[in-house]
Amino acid sequence: MSGIAPSEFLLICLIGLLILGPERLPGVARKIGGWMGKARQMTRSLQRQLEQEVDVKKNFGFDPKDLDPNEMLKPREDDTFSPLHDEEDEDGDDVEIKASDEKPAK
C-alpha cells in the first residue's frame, strides 16, 4: 500500500514508543491518521475535479482520439485565415506583403 514492509512499520512504532512514551503515542498516532485521511480526501477530490475538467468528450462534444492532425493541417477552401493559404493577387500569382504595404491601426 505505502511501500513500507511490516517489519519497517513495527520498527517505526517501537521508535515512536521510545521517543513519545506510552501516554502521548496514541494521541499523536490519532492526529497523524486524521491528517492522512484529510490528505487522501483532498487527493481524491482533486483527482475527480481534474478528470471532470479534462473530459473533452463531455465538455466539447467530440472524442480527441477521432482527430487526425494531418487532416487538420490541410488548407480548406472556406478557410480564409489559414496561415497555410498563400495570398494571391487577381492573376493567381503569389503576393508578398511588405511592412510598407500594411495600413496603420486606428
Check the CA dihedral 20-25-27-33 and report its sign: positive
Rounded to two decimals, the pTM is: 0.45
Give residue-wise pLDDT tens across range 48-67: 998 888 887 777 777 777 77
Give CA separation, 52 vs 39, 49, 58, 73, in Å: 20, 5, 9, 29
CB of 47 within 8 A of CB of 39?
Answer: no
Give residue-wise pLDDT tens across range 23-46: 888 898 899 999 999 999 999 999
| Residue 69, pLDDT above cutoff 70 | yes
Joined grid coordinates for residue 100: 510598407
The band of 80, judged by pLDDT with boundaries at 50, 70 and 90, is low
